Amino acid sequence: MEVIKKFTRVSYKRPVVALGMFDGVHVGHASIIRRAVEIARDIDGTAMVLTFSNHPLSVIAPENAPLAVGNKILRREIFDSLGVQVLFEIPFTKEFSRKTPEEFLEMLSDRIAPAYVVTGPNYTFGRFGRGNGRMLIREGENYGFKAEVCPAVTLGKKIVSSTKIRALIAEGDLSAANELLGHEFTYTSQVVHGDRRGRKLGFPTANLEIDDKHSMLPNGAYLVRVKVGDEIFNGIANVGDNPTFKVAKRRLEVFIDNFSRDIYGENISVIFIEKIRDEKIFDSVEDLKAQLRADLDFLKSKL
């Protein structure tokens, strides 16, 4: 998949463009992208996604910007797996926010010249979000493309949305969040130096800072898989403040089973599978070590 980071003029064979923010790329987003890929195959065209590298509200109203569910690395991987050939991942700026719907459509037509545009029912574009799916269908022919608005996806009679997924993650309902996502909730970040306490306990951990702009599960221990480079390992992740040792800053500590490499400074992805237990304070270091051994036994029995 080719990634383009500027809204520049390109030339591709009969582009079919999926439009949206696609945060987390949940099952509803995936249905839109699959439809664009399907159309592209039917007309021997090029399957494309046009999205932003940052959420528009982070520029328009930063105080209202939603927490991120996924990240650009995971989003690109999912796009690629769905068959997207070209990804436009452009920054949303104040200048861009002032574009009228008509100006956006002119830019789209001039720079990509899509044959088809595909989006979801809640997609808006242009200044104040005045452009929508109905406008795409109505005005598309004037700009040289046909438009299709995919219906909302429902699971259990509830419409799938990023807002609902954020709420489920905050509540700790990992199973329901993963179902709506269509894949496991994943957090990617750089491994930073910790206090090396885990190593002294016999359970060395990779420490990741928790971005306060990113959705995160409640404090506790979780079964996880950890992606390091192209390899995937089983592990146990602890989200929290490490109250036994009175650590003030909330963080993510990951024990990677059968792993001993130095990965400080590397980005790793923590894929959350199942909650093991709530975070708790231990009366002694020996009690903590016993619990960690029990967690490891549980890991080996499950994964």
Measure Cα distances from 141 to 10, 132, 161, 176 in Å. 20, 15, 30, 40
User: Would you call 230 exposed, middle or buried from its count of C-beta atoms within 10 A (0-12, 13-18, 19+)?
Assistant: exposed
Residues 191 and 265 sit within 8 Å (Cβ to Cβ)? yes
Q: How many CB atoms within 10 Å of residue 62?
A: 10
Q: Of 77, 89, 148, 253, which residue is the catalytic one?
A: 253
Is 274 noted as a catalytic residue in this protein? Answer: no
Numbers of helices and strands, H then E, in the chain? 10, 16
Amino acid, res. 178: N
Angle, CA of 239, 240 and 243, to the nearest 5°: 140
Give dist(CA 271, CA 293) in Å, integer: 21
Measure Cα distances from 67 to 9, 23, 170, 226, 259 in Å. 32, 10, 10, 22, 31
As annotated, the active-site residues are 253
